[in-house]
Structure 1
Amino acid sequence: MNKPYTTIIIDDEAPARAGLENLLKSFPETFQIIDFAQNVTEAKEKIILQNPDIIFLDIEMPKQNGFDLLMQLETIPIVVFCTAYDQYALEAFETNSIDYLVKPVKLDRIKKTVQKLKTFHKNKSSEDILNVLKEISSRKEIKKMTSITVKKNDKLIFIKLDDIAFFEADSNYTKISCESGIFLSTESISSLENKLPDNFLRIHRGIIINKDFVNDIQKYFNSRFVITLKDKKQSSITSGRSYNVAIKEWISV
């Protein structure tokens, strides 16, 4: 019997690391989790020190992303990307050296990764993989975040962006207002703004709305707007003056 693949999970979100760990524990004959990392610097050190067989790697992380990590490694392990974005040139990952999982990752999808590993032959060199990554980076594919992960008590909850009416800053955290209730994300609102797709718009220093939830917009004094949403509470939000131009561009006033 073959030994399980020594595995490092790399993701900047603790709930995502924990969720993936729980999924991989269902396959002890395939994966032996030896460590975790939450950023590129930490991951590079641990990969060089421990030389894992395989890494599960989030693409989008603060400061440096998953591609940046791989480009810093002399020897690249087997890579399984885990990300909330689904437009990173999927065809580039359809090789025996790279697999690609879209969050929220499901158990059935991990089963497919396990099956792929059973017939795996590492026939791609690190140089070949880096060439693929450089090609992907040069294409500047549009990022499309489809969901966000939050932790509530001991549960991981995956919220579809389509169900979110707006985000609201709360100190160093962000409140998520959606049809199923209010949730708290550990990400700052500025970090989220950089990741969200085009149907989300920042209208205030502390608020990002889902434009698909907008019911009506009224002009307000001091170059501001009052925006009413189609959520259950029919939330009414007043925009900030400094976001006047962005809102006008959107509604073409």
Structure 2
Amino acid sequence: MKTRVLIAEDEPLMRERLITQLAKVWPQAEIVMVAENGNDAWDGFLEHEPAVVFLDIRMPGLSGIEVAQKIGRSAHVIFITAYDQYAIDAFDAGAIDYLLKPVQEERLYKAVQRAQEKLQALFSDVGVHKLATADSRTMDLSAILSSIRANMADAKPPKMKWIKASVGKQIKLIDVDDVLFFQSDTKYTRVVLAEYEALLRTPLKDLLDGLDGDQFWQIHRSTVVNAKAIAAAERVDTERMQVFLKGHPEKLLVSRNFTYLFRE
């Protein structure tokens, strides 16, 4: 019997890897939606009512934790993250699981087995799905989620204040507050300021964890903009927008997955 599954993961390679692995370890899984941010994940959950949800903890929009809180006991949640391992033992003892990136196929198989066991307990003899009751979970979901949030907050490294980047033959020390935007450029990252731009060898995806997410917004898979530098945003078509910067002529494209940042 097919099991309806939703996947929410904002990293394309991780997303494709998980889909491929699931096809191997769980042929009965019917992937009803693949979301690239938390907002779409929650909308998709309401629309498709999956029984199992794989959630990246840190995504644009709603975080995986926030989506899981909304889901509550209506489905089994399996977290996927590159971050701390504080809650692994707790999840291993409970009804939801916690996978670390890069997800190993053997570990995914164990998580799938656990999910299948939990699902079987929720089906009556005639195969009608019943919502989980408080006794059907060995641990309290809200307590686990609160614990993870607290541990993640404690584990957060300090946000970067300065970066070293190449400008011609020079290596400049740049205050991140002066940066208008970062943009992937082949094997480098462009660091664009009001008066000049520099090149950084660090990939954009590796910069994201060190930047203050409240100030630096990812608006495209290849672009992160300083919110303080945004003058305005306008719609390009039904799915995309573009950003105008203060005192800089370049316009930045906002992909569909990040237009939620500019909703009223």
| TM-score when normalising by structure 1 | 0.54
| SS of residue paired to 2:209 | helix
- The corresponding residue for 1:17 is 15
- The corresponding residue for 2:35 is 37
Residues 211-226 of structure 1: pairs in structure 2 closer than 5 A: none
| SS of residue paired to 1:79 | strand
Q: Which of residues 100, 103, 106 in structure 1 aligns to 2:101?
A: 103
* Separation in structure 2 between the aligned mates of residue 176 and residue 115 of structure 1, nearest angstrom: 42
| Kept in 2: contact 1:83–1:101 (CA 8 A) | yes
- Check if 1:124 corresponds to 2:137: yes
For residue 175 of structure 1, report the CA deviation from its aligned partner: 4.4
* Separation in structure 2 between the aligned mates of residue 101 and residue 75 of structure 1, nearest angstrom: 19
* Separation in structure 2 between the aligned mates of residue 87 and residue 174 of structure 1, nearest angstrom: 33
* Separation in structure 1 between the aligned mates of residue 97 and residue 144 of structure 2, nearest angstrom: 13
For residue 99 of structure 1, report the CA deviation from its aligned partner: 0.9
- The corresponding residue for 2:149 is 137
For residue 94 of structure 1, report the CA deviation from its aligned partner: 2.2
| Kept in 2: contact 1:12–1:39 (CA 8 A) | yes
| Kept in 2: contact 1:5–1:53 (CA 8 A) | yes
| SS of residue paired to 1:23 | helix
For residue 9 of structure 1, report the CA deviation from its aligned partner: 0.7
| SS of residue paired to 1:193 | coil
Instruction: Provide, for residues 156-192 of structure 1, a one-character-per-residue CA deviation record: whole Å limited to 9, x for no partner.
Output: xxxxxxxxxxxxx972468479xxxxx9956373x23
| Kept in 1: contact 2:37–2:59 (CA 8 A) | yes
* Separation in structure 1 between the aligned mates of residue 101 and residue 10 of structure 2, nearest angstrom: 14
- Check if 1:46 corresponds to 2:53: no
- Check if 1:192 corresponds to 2:204: no
Query: Which amino acid is 1:193 matched to?
Result: G
Structure 2 CA distance for partners of 1:175 and 1:68, relative to 1, 3 Å: farther
For residue 30 of structure 1, report the CA deviation from its aligned partner: 3.6
* Separation in structure 2 between the aligned mates of residue 24 and residue 176 of structure 1, nearest angstrom: 33
| Kept in 1: contact 2:3–2:51 (CA 8 A) | yes
Instruction: Provide, for residues 98-131 of structure 1, a one-character-per-residue CA deviation record: whole Å limited to 9, x for no partner.
Output: 1111111121112212332343245129x93123
Instruction: Provide, for residues 42-80 of structure 1, a one-character-per-residue CA deviation record: whole Å limited to 9, x for no partner.
Output: 111000111001011111123432111122335541111
Instruction: Provide, for residues 163-222 of structure 1, a one-character-per-residue CA deviation record: whole Å limited to 9, x for no partner.
Output: xxxxxx972468479xxxxx9956373x23149xxxxxxxxxxxxxxxxxxxxxxxxxxx
* Separation in structure 2 between the aligned mates of residue 80 and residue 137 of structure 1, nearest angstrom: 15
| Kept in 1: contact 2:95–2:115 (CA 8 A) | no
* Separation in structure 2 between the aligned mates of residue 186 and residue 194 of structure 1, nearest angstrom: 10
| SS of residue paired to 1:26 | helix
- The corresponding residue for 1:164 is none
Structure 2 CA distance for partners of 1:138 and 1:187, relative to 1, 3 Å: closer
Q: Which runs of no fewer than 5 residues in structure 2 stay unpaired?
A: 122-131, 158-180, 190-200, 213-264
| Kept in 1: contact 2:4–2:29 (CA 8 A) | yes
Structure 2 CA distance for partners of 1:134 and 1:192, relative to 1, 3 Å: closer
| Kept in 1: contact 2:58–2:64 (CA 8 A) | yes
Q: Report the count of equivalent residues.
A: 163
| Kept in 2: contact 1:70–1:76 (CA 8 A) | no
| SS of residue paired to 2:144 | helix
* Separation in structure 2 between the aligned mates of residue 50 and residue 24 of structure 1, nearest angstrom: 19
| Kept in 2: contact 1:172–1:188 (CA 8 A) | no
Identity over aligned pairs, percent: 28
* Separation in structure 2 between the aligned mates of residue 174 and residue 84 of structure 1, nearest angstrom: 24
| TM-score when normalising by structure 2 | 0.52
Query: Which amino acid is 1:112 matched to?
Result: K
| Kept in 2: contact 1:174–1:185 (CA 8 A) | no
